[in-house]
Amino acid sequence: MRSLPLLAAVALTATTLPAQQLRTLSRPDAEFEEPFTQVTGIRELKDGRVVVNDIRDKVVQLVDFKSGSAKKIGREGSGPKEYSLPMSLVALPGDTSGVYDPLNQRMLLILPNGEPGDFIKTTPAPSASTRGGGGISISLSPPRYTDAKGRFYYAGGSLPRPDAPQTGVDSQPILRFARDAKSADTVAWIRVPANNVRVSNTGNRRTFMGGIANPFAARDEWVVTADGRVGVIRSPEYRVDWSGPSSAKGAPIAYEKIKLTEKHKEQWRETQRNGTRIMMRVGPGGATSASSGSPSDGQFRPPEPTDWPEVLPPFTANSAVIAPNGQIWIARTREATDNIPRYDIIDGSGKLVSRVALPAKTRVVGFGNGVVYTVRTDEDDLQYLQRFRLQ
């Protein structure tokens, strides 16, 4: 991914954009015929084929839009060239990709020819050292980004000891890890809603169950460019702060305050009923294990939030996507009756440069050479991979 140059100075005044600068992507250049169930990542290769990660079907496929064919990569399991739960997909240098498998606690390489390769380490071993407030430092998130040097970036976390107040945490470090390093570096901090972590003890097993943080509470989002700059999108201020080789604080972006309604809450409850969750366990000596499930199968039933805000933040969790040119696409919150997804496009200086509207029930999942990839969800909750030309 190439990043845009930073401006030498940024005026800290709210930026706005005329309404007529909204671009509508109405008809895709291509749509893959076979559906998916829950796409969590894509990676376009140089020849135009696309690696697609589907967490619910537990499958990784190599999709060819030209021929309309798909080839399964690897298989489910715990042996060589296998994965138990392909949670996320990251791009690595040289058309190599990585599939993160939290159940096996490893990452499987996908080679440029679409064949599964070896396993690699993406994070240091979890630390049992205490941190301010009496917590155990442990990563609960998969690697989310990589840079041109192949370093991994992920959000760290803090879990409380069973004897500590179980009020959750309100910030997370953004960690960078190189495969030849023994530890990770903290490159930024983001603000997150307290998640009301619950802890239970059964013999020598300690289980951390994440209570649901309010989905409409203000929280920061983040992205990483190829040169290692970390962009933190602040909320509710709605601005982009950059750190890394060049640092800058962006101007606030003006946005309309939208009232939270009961319909917003019901729409969120529907996504919870259909989602996939991971539960982490910490055993003797700090050993960790994980399992997957969904609220519908009875494994995970965290309590519903009670601290609903009066108005929506400018964006919610997992709403930021970084484009190859260094621009950030932010999925904006909207009225519950508005079914048209809209994305703000912010450049490398933190300036709002344009907006894009997508068809209903469509979301951005990645980018390629002059294209953006989206997923369209039909009435049966099946997902279809689409490609839109941006030029």
pLDDT digits (tens, 9 = 90+) for 336-370: 999 999 999 999 999 999 999 999 999 999 999 99
What span, in angstroms and rounded, lies between the C-alpha atoms of 84 and 82?
A: 7
336 and 249 in one domain? yes
Residue 124 has pLDDT above 90, yes or no: no
Question: Is 160 within a domain?
Answer: no
Contacts of 113 (CB under 8 A, 6+ apart): none
Q: Tell me which of 271 and 23 has the higher pLDDT.
A: 23
State which of 96, 120, 144 marks the end of a domain: 120
Q: How many domains does the chain have?
A: 2
Q: What is the pLDDT of residue 193?
A: 84
356 and 242 in one domain? yes
Contacts of 216 (CB under 8 A, 6+ apart): 260, 264, 268, 308, 309, 312, 313, 316, 333
Q: What is the pLDDT of residue 169?
A: 63
2 and 109 in one domain? no
State which of 72, 104, 120 marks the end of a domain: 120
369 and 333 in one domain? yes
Question: Is 8 within a domain?
Answer: yes
pLDDT tens by residue, 183-227: 899 999 999 887 655 556 666 665 555 556 788 999 999 999 999
Q: What is the pLDDT of residue 199?
A: 57
Q: Tell me which of 283 and 59 has the higher pLDDT.
A: 59
β-pairing, 116-120 vs 352-357, is unpaired
CATH number for position 95: 2.40.10.500
The chain-wide mean pLDDT, for the chain, equals: 83
Cβ distance 153 to 224 under 8 Å? yes
Closest CA to 334 of 313, 359, 365, 317: 313
Residue 14 has pLDDT above 60, yes or no: no
Question: Is 129 within a domain?
Answer: no
CA 288 to chain centroid = 22
Residue 132 has pLDDT above 60, yes or no: no
**Among 6-20, 23-37, 285-299, which is the least confidently predicted range?**
6-20
Q: Phi and psi at residue 271, in whole multiples of 5°?
A: -65, -35
Confidence of residue 306 (pLDDT cuts 50, 70, 90): confident
Residue 114 has pLDDT above 50, yes or no: yes
224 secondary structure, DSSP code: E
59 and 115 in one domain? yes
345 and 245 in one domain? yes
Residue 381's domain comprises 1-31+225-260+318-391
Residue 288 has pLDDT above 80, yes or no: no
Residue 171 has pLDDT above 50, yes or no: yes
With vertex at residue 93, the alpha carbon angle to CA 318 and CA 82, rounded to the nearest 5 degrees, is 75
- Report the residue count for the chain: 391
Cβ distance 143 to 155 under 8 Å? no
385 and 341 in one domain? yes
232 and 86 in one domain? no
15 and 95 in one domain? no
* This prediction's pTM: 0.83
Cβ distance 100 to 119 under 8 Å? no
What span, in angstroms and rounded, lies between the C-alpha atoms of 170 and 172?
A: 7
Question: Is 58 within a domain?
Answer: yes
Q: What is the pLDDT of residue 290?
A: 54
Question: Is 76 within a domain?
Answer: yes
Q: Tell me which of 195 and 273 has the higher pLDDT.
A: 273
What span, in angstroms and rounded, lies between the C-alpha atoms of 147 and 229?
A: 9
Q: What is the pLDDT of residue 3?
A: 34
Region 97-113 average pLDDT: 93
376 and 331 in one domain? yes
Question: Is 62 within a domain?
Answer: yes
Residue 182 has pLDDT above 80, yes or no: yes
State which of 61, 90, 120 marks the end of a domain: 120
| AA identity, residue 99 | V
Residue 323 has pLDDT above 70, yes or no: yes
Q: What is the pLDDT of residue 197?
A: 56
Question: Is 172 within a domain?
Answer: no
What span, in angstroms and rounded, lies between the C-alpha atoms of 336 and 341?
A: 11
pLDDT tens by residue, 240-268: 999 877 778 889 999 999 999 999 999 99
Q: What is the pLDDT of residue 98?
A: 97
Q: Tell me which of 306 and 33 has the higher pLDDT.
A: 33
Q: Phi and psi at residue 307, in whole multiples of 5°?
A: -95, 60
Task: Locate 63 and state its tokens.
Answer: 């999709």
Residue 232 has pLDDT above 60, yes or no: yes
Q: Is the peptide bond before 324 cis (omega within 30 degrees of 0)?
A: no
113 and 230 in one domain? no
pLDDT tens by residue, 36-94: 999 999 999 999 999 999 999 999 999 999 999 999 999 999 999 999 999 999 999 99
